[in-house]
């Protein structure tokens, strides 16, 4: 059991405990009252940060997208950016999804419709910012906004589809296979 919360950032502590539950439990109890109890605070205290369970789940989904995006950013940077970096963004997506299936499912149950052309991608989380940045870096300046949007949708569909095939047991996970499949796409010719 998690140690009771005593001081600091209650919102961050609740999100951290929610993330741990998503990782550790087949059917996580993500109710506000259960989190408050395990944090050692009143439900009222937690309701100040999350007015209802939907607000908590939305915050966890955005936190998950941000964590995925941070992993992707580190992988792209380690690969030196460019073509290799963008490839690593995709490989990291699939690997992260396989390691965090409950969180991935929560993300896409909560995110709703994604606007890949939105000017403010911060509402979509760091993972979508990584996708847009990768496409912008890989696509020639002569490509239209529509072509960039389709390229982003293509890249996202590829890695998300592969991740879901693995998570649903239709394809066996093999890290080398993931790498080969993801790196087959070359956006330079799009």
Assess whether 84 and 113 both reside in one domain: yes
Structure tokens given for 20:
């741990």
Assess whether 33 and 80 both reside in one domain: no
Whether 17 and 38 have beta carbons less than 8 Å apart is answered as: yes
> For 114-118, what is the mean pLDDT?
69
Assess whether 109 and 75 both reside in one domain: yes
Assess whether 22 and 99 both reside in one domain: no
Assess whether 181 and 109 both reside in one domain: yes
Assess whether 146 and 70 both reside in one domain: yes
158 falls within a domain? yes
Segments forming the whole domain that contains residue 91? 58-189
Assess whether 86 and 155 both reside in one domain: yes
> Among 14-18, 56-60, 103-107, 131-135, which stretch is predicted with the lowest mean pLDDT?
131-135
Whether 102 and 23 have beta carbons less than 8 Å apart is answered as: yes
For residue 168, pLDDT beyond 90 = yes
Reported confidence tier of residue 149, pLDDT bands at 50, 70, 90 = confident
> For 79-95, what is the mean pLDDT?
92
1 falls within a domain? no
pLDDT of residue 190: 45
144 falls within a domain? yes
Higher pLDDT, 108 or 98: 98
pLDDT of residue 3: 54
Query: To which residue do tokens 């789940």 refer?
Result: 57
52 falls within a domain? no
Give 22-67 pLDDT, tens digit per residue. Answer: 887 766 668 899 899 999 999 999 999 999 999 999 999 989 999 9
Give 176-189 pLDDT, tens digit per residue. Answer: 999 999 999 765 54
> For 94-109, what is the mean pLDDT?
92
Assess whether 75 and 33 both reside in one domain: no
pLDDT of residue 7: 55
88 falls within a domain? yes
Assess whether 77 and 29 both reside in one domain: no
Please report the DSSP string for 81-119 in residue order.
Answer: SHHHHHHHHHHHHHHHHHH-HHHHHHHHHHS-S--TT-S
Domain count of the chain?
2
CB-based burial of residue 168 (10 Å sphere; 0-12 exposed, 13-18 middle, 19+ buried)? exposed
Assess whether 117 and 166 both reside in one domain: yes
CATH number for 62:
1.10.357.10
Assess whether 81 and 115 both reside in one domain: yes
83 falls within a domain? yes
Assess whether 159 and 132 both reside in one domain: yes
Return the percentage of the chain with pLDDT > 90, whole number: 54
53 falls within a domain? no
């Amino acid at each position: 059991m998690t140690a009771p919360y005593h001081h600091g950032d209650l919102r961050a502590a609740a999100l951290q405990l929610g993330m741990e539950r998503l990782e550790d439990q087949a059917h996580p109890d993500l109710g506000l009252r259960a989190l408050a109890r395990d944090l050692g605070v009143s439900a009222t205290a937690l309701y100040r940060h999350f007015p209802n369970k939907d607000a908590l789940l939305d915050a966890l989904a955005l936190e998950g997208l941000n964590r995925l995006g941070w992993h992707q950013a580190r992988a792209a940077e380690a690969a030196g950016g460019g073509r290799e970096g963008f490839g690593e963004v995709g490989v990291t997506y699939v690997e992260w999804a396989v390691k965090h299936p409950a969180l991935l499912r929560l993300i896409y149950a909560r995110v709703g419709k994604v606007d890949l052309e939105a000017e403010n991608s911060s509402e979509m989380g760091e993972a979508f910012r990584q996708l847009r940045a990768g496409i912008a870096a890989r696509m020639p300046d002569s490509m239209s906004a529509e072509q960039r949007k389709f390229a982003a949708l293509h890249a996202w569909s590829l890695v998300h589809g592969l991740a879901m095939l693995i998570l649903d047991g239709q394809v066996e996970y093999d890290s080398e296979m993931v790498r080969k499949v993801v790196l087959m796409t070359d956006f330079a010719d799009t």
